[in-house]
Chains A and B, each alone.
Chain A
Amino acid sequence: MADKDEDTPQLSGVNAGDIDLSDETQDFRFLSNLSFSGTDLPKIPKRGEKDFEPHATSLQSSTLAASRAAMHSALSIPRIHPPKTHIMATYDPDTNMAYVDKIKSQHFQTIGKFFQGKEWLLPEEALFMLERGSLDVRWPVLRTADEDENDSNSLGVPMSLQGAYAAFIGMECGVGGKLTLEMYNVYAGLKRAGYVVLRSGSWNNERGALDFTNLAKLDAREATNKFWNFRIFAEIWEMLLTRKSDGGAERLALGPLITPGLYRTYDDIYRLLQIIPNHNRRSPPTFSLPADSSNPFHVTYHIYKPTGKFRKSAPGPPDYRVAVVNARETSVPTMAQLSDLLATTPYDPPSASSQLYQRLKHGSRNIILAIVDQGIPSYIRVADASFSDEKLYERQARGSRGKRGGFGRGRGRGRGRGR
């Protein structure tokens, strides 16, 4: 069994495309294979080029030594700034941010904020720029009385990577005041993947604001749709023939649920059978928990797909919202926590043209939880699946409302049965 495993590098039954290379530690010797220049797609090492277990052969140990040497040399790549691309920033201990006097890099299209003549970088922005070797952050100079502002020797000492972590993560009590290493892990990971990452607006508050976007718009659109619908006569006809589903408390208390009478469609009967009230996802959201800054679940970052049109002054609505969670300190969110978290995201219904399963998966509101376990983030998308909005008996009616009714039975069977 073991020998067999050694010879089958790929996991059987798993497509190569499904494999997440960052799931496991990869051999650093393949780092040199990664090419990011030119038109070639980056060559990413194949998974499975590892051994099953050590068997103390010198071949194996020399391969391991080579891998470790490759790792060592990759990790020792220095951060050097040629004078041409040198960008210098100064650390500001009061805000725990850094400011750049002169910006000259396209990175600043997506990071930084211009304030009082300087470009200010948030802790995670400054730390990431320093870490990727694009920014030279200097410690502020302790000025003594006899020193001149314009002294030629007034340069601060360069901040080391270690110093940057100590400062931007460890001394974090300035603006926002809540950057944790987990948040930075997620930030850096997403930035490396190419996304534009901005802080959500709620960093200074105890909790995020309720999000009413799309709800008002939705109501207006529905009203106009109703008014200008071509099938307005069909609607009237339908209204005349449709049984009212609210038979009153008496019907629910005593039954029968379906009173004898004339039913033109099965929909009417199903509607009468629906006795459990359900949450209307289009109603404005409310919080169920009191405001509490110790609640670990709040939207941390807004994620934008990289497009040329992005402007940091007017970023617009984000593509994704991420809440960063520490795996070791936080457990699974309670229903109330989750619903409060989702209330701070906008109403985002699935597109009408997609399939039922896709619509359910998409949900009405959604959030991505980034769960960080000791530096390794896992992303989980949580959506409010609106089962009550996706009525199976209405499924067929979409697009051909006028012809509804009649032989609903035959259709229903056809769909429901076959497997």
Chain B
Amino acid sequence: MADISVQEPFPISLIANRYLLFDVNIVTYARREHNICGVLIGTIPHLSQQNIFLGIPLELMPEEARLLVEKGHAYIVEDVESHKSGFLEMSREERLAFLQVMDKQGRETALSNKKKAEERSEKALQRKGLAGKAQESSPRVSETAELNTRAYTDADAETSLFDLPSGTASPIFSQNSIALEPYFITPTTSYPPLPIPPTTPTLSLPDVPRTYPLFAHLHSRGYFMTPGLRFGCHYTVYPGDPLRFHSHFLATGADWDEEFNLLDIVGGGRLGTGVKKAYLIGGADTSSKDSRSGGYSDVGDGVRAFSIEWAGL
């Protein structure tokens, strides 16, 4: 786990004005090293009937993308253009080369799957052997065991059926006389065949809302943040990785001299306390940074934050 690392700066895909991560190593790395959670929005293959655990891609808030870029950990890549030129105008040689790579991978997957199936059937056979010993005492057990093995051998027969090259389905592969038809694989990222794009910072920094100073401030203090609309705030703030900790604050960013309704404090405070969190309002003093920043926050970003909790509940 801890050995997963990626080379910095890593690319962030920009698609239709959204910042996405597709590489699982980058997702894990950014979470571990930079406290960047993002939101998983994809479907985990074969676990596609639930909404509790989601998968790749990871959508980053513009704040998160901006922070990573500003600190030099990442850079933005315009994915649409690179895919347009990379795939829609792919040359024949490149295509065939990549197909061959995929074919090899597919073959390996098929092989490992076959191995797994063999292991399974071996286990089943072993179980049958055990059942065979118990045969005299309880014939019924052995009967079911036999049924089980029959099912397993049937499954085996099925797999061996597929293993025969079907000839027409994948003409390229059938030329090889290996008795294993490769699986088809949908890769997660496009690198390869696309080259990892150069790190030249041609794109401008991500546009961020005015709550960014608060975000950056809390992030610099080691907090984890996720989007907070569900709790009526800008960010839900976690003291550690949200995988293991509940959030402590419902943070709302504001401008330094911004006037807001007292009712917002009441509403946020009641809601926050109701879900065992504290409501937090914060903003950056942009007007007189030099005089104030030192006094209130040692980070020097001029951000002050207040947490509001309903006492006596």
Residues on A facing B (Cβ under 8 Å):
5, 11, 21-28, 31, 34, 36, 42, 44-45, 48, 50-54, 60, 63-65, 67-69, 71-72, 74-84, 86, 88, 93, 128, 130-134, 136-137, 139-142, 144, 147, 152-153, 155-163, 165-167, 169-172, 180-181, 185, 188-189, 192-194, 327-328, 371, 373-376, 378
Contact = CB atoms under 8 A, between A and B. Distances in A.
Contacts of B193: 157
B13 A80 contact: no
Interface size class of B (residues with CB under 8 A): 35 or more
Contacts of A194: 49
B137 interface: no
Interface in B72-117: 79-80, 82-84, 87-92, 95-96, 98-99, 102, 106, 109-110, 113
Interface in B194-239: 209, 226-230, 236, 239
Contacts of B27: 75
B262 interface: no
Interface of B: 1-2, 4, 13, 15-16, 18, 20, 22, 24, 27-28, 31-32, 37, 39-53, 55-57, 59, 61, 79-80, 82-84, 87-92, 95-96, 98-99, 102, 106, 109-110, 113, 162, 166, 169-172, 181-190, 193, 209, 226-230, 236, 239-248, 275-276
Instruction: Point out which of B1, B88, B172, B247 has the most chain A C-beta atoms below 10 A from its C-beta.
Output: B1
A161 B83 contact: no
Given A65-B1, A131-B42, A157-B102, A22 B51 contact: yes
Nearest to B229: A373
Contacts of A160: 22, 186-190
Nearest to A165: B15
B244 A64 contact: yes
A160 B15 CA distance: 14
B128 to A, nearest CB: 23
Given A50-B245, A53-B240, A157-B95, A139 B87 contact: yes
A51 B52 CA distance: 19
Instruction: Point out which of B83, B90, B91, B247 has the most chain A C-beta atoms below 10 A from its C-beta.
Output: B83
A82 B110 CA distance: 8
Nearest to B234: A373
Contacts of B56: 75, 161
A214 B287 CA distance: 59
Nearest to A128: B43
B224 to A, nearest CB: 9
A147 B188 contact: no
Contacts of A78: 45, 109, 185-186, 188
A51 B47 CA distance: 27
B80 A161 contact: no
Contact of B80 (A52, A76, A137, A170): A170
